[in-house]
Amino acid sequence: MKDQLSSRTVRPSIGIMSAHKHAHSTEPTTLAGGALQGMSNVEHIKHASKGLFYVGTSDGARHTLHSEIEALSAREAETITDHAKELAKHFGIYKQRIRNESGKKTGDFIFMVRVKNPAGGELTAEQWLALDEAADRYGDGSLRLTARQGIQFHYVRGENLRALVRHLNGKYRDRGYQLTTLGACGDVNRNTVASPIDDLDAELPLDSRALAHEVARELAPKTSAYYQVFLSDENGANVAPVNAEEPLYGAQYLPRKFKVGFAHPHDNSIDLLTNDVGFIPIVRGGRVIAYDFYSGGGLGMTHNQPDTEPLLALALGRVHRGQILDAVRATAILQREHGERKNRRAARWKYTIRRLGVDHIKAYLRKDFAIEIEDAAPSPLPPVRDLLGWYREAGDGDRWYAGVMIPCGRVRDFETSRYRSAVRRTVESVQDIGIRVTPNQHLILTHIPASQREFVERTFAEHRVAFDSGVAPIRRLAMACPAKPTCGLAMTHAEQALPEYLAELERAELGDVDVMVRMAGCPNGCSRPTTAEIGIVGYGKNDYVLMVGGARNGSRLARVLFPRLGEHHLRQALKGLVTAIRDHNPHHLPAGDFLASTSDEKLKSYAAMTH
């Protein structure tokens, strides 16, 4: 089936509108049923690029992306053009401009560069030190861990862009996986996530991480443009694409980003149901017998656009391991052919699958792609775990892994705590250590001999980094996106605001309350606030949406409690809600369950309480 599934000519003929309609009820513009002229400007840009190589202009001319990157390197240009920006995303690069407090883009032009790191892909000490070195040489002195286990560099200047990408694609290899930014952003499969303890869990070591790497390799863009633009010498770098073919994606790639994840029966820190395609192993007698197959999740939305909404993935049934890759590839093909290509707000797979109907999708996966989906009710999902502290590793040796909290994922040396130096010192000193990124924006240090545990704890203490029991419960699952002042979509602060809010709760003696708080600067929800027990989303300058009641296992979305709050009232509401979780929860329900089962009227009365 592999040859058939990867063929560009596979065009499953699915009825465009089914009995199961989503709110997007207008006739879609798709590859299967629409002409290029009816598609969005981004679709035209991708189509004209010949595999992300050429940048078209409004007058019909074209030049190479390589020429724009060369101009940056020579300091002959401040930034790249808007057309080039759409192509550069596929190479893990976002064009940005520093914003002032009012949100206006008035500062210097900069770039964010994201490293793709499948399955929290275990980084060697050499790789981590290469990333650490790049933070100073090319960025702002920090490494930013993402909610999808990637690693970002912020404040990258144009003249450093190509040098950083070359640095990351250098000699730093690990088990056949090379650090790269290719496919970390753009209309392709993004970083494929997996539980970072998948093979480490002492009670149930598995190998879903191997599947995540297979998916990442198979769905990576195949164009030669990345290598010609960023990695080649002058010979052939800007003449013509060596290979513009994309066997899976075709000339226009996918309509929007595509996300795949693998959970573990003991850990759903990836938030399985927020992915376009998700799998979790079903284990009987210590053996994996199949995988629950989910499809159609995604949290992005747009304020005041009722046709957009966060949605959790739907259970399709079960598949066997040998068809996991085929199932992902087939889903990507269906989205390629039938995803909306005029209105990008309606282009995610979560809308396509609901527009076409789950029964139609299952039928075509079975018929056109020979995916043997077994009808079965899904098993209960495990909780989202923080994975902080010490855990014994699977295997015969006396080795341990340690989860280290990184506040909002920012690996930096602050005046109070030197996170980056502590990690670097540990990585330099512990032989054969590995490093993984968690979906909670923390780090896991792996393969630590029992004899080195005291050294690791002492190193953290010397650098004033809180470890294990030293981390307050209210901070263990807290998460925020970078937001202002760099992200062009952010409406408010998030990373710069959430630590202050948590500190205020601690000063009110609420730090021991176990509640998952997540914050995002815009409704794209990169930090997954809409599945949090308390979620905060930016809405205009210093205004926020406050949501409550997400489930700790990611199986329930939070509901909007306050559609708009100013910052002062947000702080008051947070304090009142967290107090209520502690003091008005007689059955000691998990925070999300308590909030979900309590009426809006009652919760609003708690939120209005002053202390």
| Model pLDDT, residue 18 | 42
Strands 534-538 and 517-520: parallel
Task: Please state, in angstroms and rounded to a whole number, the distance separating the CA atoms of residues 241 and 53.
Answer: 6
Q: Which domains does the chain have, with CATH numbers?
A: 389-472 (3.90.480.10), 476-607 (3.30.413.10)
Q: Which residues of 356-368 are buried (b: 16+ CB within 10 A; e: fewer)?
A: bbbebbbebbeeb
Residue-wise pLDDT tens digits, 95-148: 999 877 767 777 889 999 999 999 988 999 999 999 999 999 999 999 999 999
pLDDT at 3 exceeding the cut of 50: no
* pLDDT tens track for 137-186: 999 999 999 999 999 999 999 999 999 999 998 866 555 567 899 999 99
* Helix, strand, coil share (%) of the chain residues, nearest 5: 35, 20, 45
- The pLDDT value recorded for residue 37 is 87
Mean pLDDT of 542-553: 96
Alpha carbon distances (Å) from 265 to 66, 93, 201, 458: 45, 34, 10, 33
CA distance 152 to 114: 4
Q: At residue 26, does pLDDT exceed 80?
A: no
**What is residue 346's three-state secondary structure?**
helix
Question: How much is the pTM?
Answer: 0.94
3-state SS assignment for residue 116: strand
pLDDT in tens, 432-475: 999 999 999 999 999 999 999 999 999 999 999 999 999 999 99
Instruction: Look up residue 43 and give its amino acid.
Output: E
Q: Are 327 and 365 in contact (CB under 8 A)?
A: yes
| For residue 379, pLDDT beyond 50 | yes
Q: Is the dihedral of CA 333, 337, 341, 345 positive or negative?
A: negative
Q: SS3 string of 404-424?
A: ECCHHHEECECCCCEHHHHHH
